[in-house]
Amino acid sequence: MTNPVRKGLLLVVSGPSGVGKTTIVHEVIRRLGGEFSVSATTRARTERERDGVDYHFVDQTIFQRWIDEGRFLEFAQVFGRSWYGTLQDQVEQALGEGKLIVLDIDVQGARSVKQRMPRAFTVFVLPPDEDTLLKRLHARGREDEAAIERRFAEAKTEIDFARTSGVYNAFVVNDDLELAIDQLCDLVRAR
Ligand code: ADP
Ligand code: 5GP
C-alpha cells in the first residue's frame, strides 16, 4: 500500500551549458541524499560518460518508441540537435518513496515539468559573466569549437527566458563553486 504522507521533493535545475549544473547537482545529491534523474538522450556518449548512469544513450528509433509509449514526463530537442527526455517511472518511484529527485534539464523541459507538476522546485544556475561561461565550456574540453559556439550562443536566450518566464522559483550564481553548492543545499532544506 502506498503511504500518502511519503511525498518526495522534485528539484529541477537548469542553466546554460557549461555553467556547472552537473558538478553542483551531484554534490548536492551527495550531501543531502537523493537521486539523480537519468535522462534518455540521442546525443553521442562521451568517453567520460557511462550509459545508464549519466544518461540512457539511445538511438532515434528507441527515443521515438518511448515517446509513443508515453514514457516521458517531458522531452525536448536541445540546441536544435539531439533529443533529451525525463523518464516518468524513475521520477514517480523516487517521489513515492519520499526521496529528493533531481532533474538537470533545459528551460523547455523545466517549463513542461512546472506545468504538469506545479509543486516542483525549479532553480536556474547563472554564470558570473559571459566570459567565465565561455572559459568553462572550453575548460571542460568535451565539445568541438562549433558545438561550443552553438551552446554559448544559446546561453543568452536561455537566461532571458529564465528571467522573464516565471518558471523558476530561485536563481543561484555559480561563481565560487562551494558557495553555489551551499546556496542550493540551503534552498532545498528550506523547501
Ligand atoms: P554543465 O553541467 O552546466 O554543462 P559542468 O558541471 O560540466 O557544467 O561544468 C563545466 C565546467 O566548469 C567543468 O569543467 C567544471 O569543473 C567547471 N566548473 C563548474 N563550476 C565551476 C566554478 N564555480 N568555478 C570554476 N569552474 C567550474
Ligand atoms: P548535455 O548535452 O550538456 O549533457 O546537455 C545539454 C542540455 O540538455 C542541458 O541544458 C541539459 O540540462 C539538458 N537536458 C539533459 N537532460 C534533459 C532532459 O531529460 N530533458 C530536457 N528537456 N533537457 C535535458
Q: pLDDT digit string (tens) for 40-55?
A: 999 999 999 999 999 9
Residue closest by Cα to atom 12 of ligand 1: 136
Residue 79: predicted pLDDT: 86
What pLDDT was estimated at residue 97?
Answer: 96
Query: Is residue 4 over pLDDT 60?
Result: no
Q: What lines the ligand 1 site, CB under 6 Å?
A: 15, 17-23, 136, 139-140, 174, 177
CA–CA separation, 132 and 143 (whole Å): 17
Q: So what's the pLDDT on residue 80?
A: 79
Model confidence at 16, in pLDDT bands (50, 70, 90)? very high
Residue type, 74: E
Interval between CA 134 and ligand 1 midpoint (Å): 11
**Residue of 10, 39, 114 with the most ligand 2 atoms within 8 Å of its CB, for mutation:** 39
Q: What is the dihedral of CA 68, 70, 76, 80, to 10 degrees?
A: -10
pLDDT reading at 6 higher than 70: no
Ligand 2 centre distance from Cα of residue 15 (Å): 10
pTM recorded for the entire structure: 0.96
Q: Write the pLDDT tens digit of every residue in 53-87.
A: 999 999 999 999 999 999 999 999 998 789 999 99
Confidence band of 7 (pLDDT split at 50, 70, 90): confident
At 73, the amino acid letter reads: L
Ligand 2: which of 66, 102, 105 to mutate, judged by most atoms within 8 Å of the beta carbon?
Answer: 105
How many angstroms separate the CA atoms of 8 and 61, rounded?
A: 33
3-state secondary structure of 123: strand
What are the chain's domains? 9-190 (3.40.50.300)
- Residue 14 dihedral angles phi and psi, to the nearest 5°: -125, 170
Residue 176 CA: distances (Å) to CA of 169, 172, 173, 179:
21, 11, 8, 5
Cell numbers standing for residue 51: 550509459
86 touches 33 (CB < 8 A)? no
Cα separation of 90 and 52, whole Å?
12
Arithmetic mean of pLDDT over the chain? 95
Confidence of residue 3 (pLDDT cuts 50, 70, 90): very low
Residue nearest to atom 23 of ligand 1 (CA): 177
